[in-house]
Amino acid sequence: MMILNKLRSFTLITILTILSTACVNAGSTSEDGVGTIISGTTDVSAGTLVILNKITDVKLEIKDSTTVGEKGKFQFQGDYGNAEGEIFFVTFKTTSPPGIPIVVESNDKIKLDIKQNGKSYDVVYDGGKYNGEMSRLFNVYTTFEHDMDKFNADVAVIDPTTVTEQIRKETNERYTALISRRSEQIENFIKTEKGTPATYFAVKYLFQEQVPKLVLLANEKVKQDMPTSTYATRLAAAATQIGPTVPGAVAPDINLKTPEGELLALSSLRGKVVLIDFWASWCGPCRKENPNVKKLYSKYKNKGFEIYAVSLDNSASRWKQAIEKDGLPWKHVSDLGGWKSSAAKLYAVRSIPQTFLLDEEGRIIKTGLRSHQLDQVLGELLN
């Protein structure tokens, strides 16, 4: 089956692909307690190499190495970390995952209790301002790894000669559910925890490709909680490159006049699931969709759904006549600028109909939904 080996190295894939420097012992060997001390106890075999790696966006730098002692103890001591906290990665034998991410500030005293669990580790963190958050994130993605190991083991014993469509369907559904749950849990971590270096680690190193929604969420949290940090600077740059109208972004506000001449801001509808619908009286496909959209509006309007229709008309009379003739009971706005509409430019609309579905916080969920697709999504969101 195609999915058998997809996720063995799924976690920390970015780290696997960045360059490592030569193995060195950069730490102090003094016993005066000055500097950062990272000590650990583990059930990994005595004599096993332990490597302290510093994670950067460019490469994985090996900063120090030692071995596990006879009593399962190891220690690094030296000038590690800085005032805002740098991300390090403790590994055994090689620099490759599995490993333990830690956030290190200058002169931190960090203790790790590491137990082997299958192909990864269970870890108790003690010390470091941000390692409470990192510990909770670590538990999220290592739980996923355990679940994926179980999945791969179950798939491995399936006899290919006996595979039916039902088995294939159930296996793919289980795989998809695992991936979705991992993404949802990481998203929930970003939303509910303070913005810290662990937040940056989550969006930068736990996905094979950048997830725009998570980058945008992380940018907001880190900007709020660590506004002058390098993490905030890097996330702001990444968020700027993503653009304003991708899923996960807070929809840019629109504030145009209604047919009655009153200004109506999109942001005034926060608290509801909102469909921004770009249309025009002269747009045949738009008008053809209207009867179906009316049915959906009637079905969901009392469950927290609203439509904010932006017309690209030039003529006020034709705009108003189309609303009346089609019997469209939702919110309508326009600046009567046609294709030069300020809202169309803001949302980079180049064809209509075009839609943007927003959640209660005003974040874009999906774009380009037609009525038959919209019914399913609204059902999942509002029922």
Pairwise pLDDT comparison (64 vs 17), residue with the higher score: 64
User: Residue 244's pLDDT is what?
Assistant: 80
User: Residue 32's pLDDT is what?
Assistant: 52
Per residue in 70-83, pLDDT tens?
Answer: 999 999 999 999 99
User: Residue 17's pLDDT is what?
Assistant: 40
230-242 and 212-225 helices cross at what angle (nearest 10)? Answer: 140
Residue 201, amino acid: F
Same domain for 271 and 370, yes or no, is yes
User: Residue 30's pLDDT is what?
Assistant: 41
Q: Is the pLDDT of residue 14 over 90?
A: no
User: Residue 247's pLDDT is what?
Assistant: 87
Q: How is residue 206 written in tokens?
A: 């736990």
SS3 (DSSP) at 354: strand
Sign of the torsion formed by the C-alpha atoms of 63, 66, 68 and 69: negative
Q: How is residue 100 written in tokens?
A: 């333990």
Q: How confident is the model at residue 210 (pLDDT cuts 50, 70, 90)?
A: confident
Same domain for 235 and 275, yes or no, is no
Does residue 76 belong to any structural domain of this protein?
yes
User: Residue 26's pLDDT is what?
Assistant: 41
Same domain for 57 and 82, yes or no, is yes
**Where a domain ends, among 77, 102, 128?**
128
Q: Is the pLDDT of residue 325 over 60?
A: yes
Instruction: Name which of 378, 8, 358 is nearest 208 in CA terms.
Output: 8
Rounded to whole angstroms, the Cα distance separating 20 from 4 reads: 29
Same domain for 122 and 164, yes or no, is no
Same domain for 303 and 377, yes or no, is yes
C-alpha distances (whole Å) from 341 to each of 255, 333, 335, 350 are 12, 11, 6, 11
Q: Is the pLDDT of residue 160 over 70?
A: yes
Q: Which of 135-139, 192-196, 210-214 has the least mean pLDDT?
A: 210-214
When the pLDDT of each residue in the chain is averaged and rounded to a whole number, the result is 90
Boundaries of domain holding 214? 145-242
Average pLDDT over residues 239-254: 88
Per residue in 339-369, pLDDT tens?
Answer: 999 999 999 999 999 999 999 999 999 999 9
CATH of the domain at 89: 2.60.40.10
How many structural domains compose the chain?
3
Give 255's DSSP letter: E
Q: How confident is the model at residue 20 (pLDDT cuts 50, 70, 90)?
A: very low
Q: Is the pLDDT of residue 21 over 70?
A: no
Q: How confident is the model at residue 208 (pLDDT cuts 50, 70, 90)?
A: confident
Q: How confident is the model at residue 8 (pLDDT cuts 50, 70, 90)?
A: very low
Same domain for 277 and 312, yes or no, is yes
Share of the chain above pLDDT 70, in %: 91
Q: pTM for the whole thing?
A: 0.73
User: Residue 28's pLDDT is what?
Assistant: 42
Does residue 133 belong to any structural domain of this protein?
no
User: Residue 59's pLDDT is what?
Assistant: 84
Average pLDDT over residues 234-245: 88
Rounded to whole angstroms, the Cα distance separating 303 from 52 reads: 53
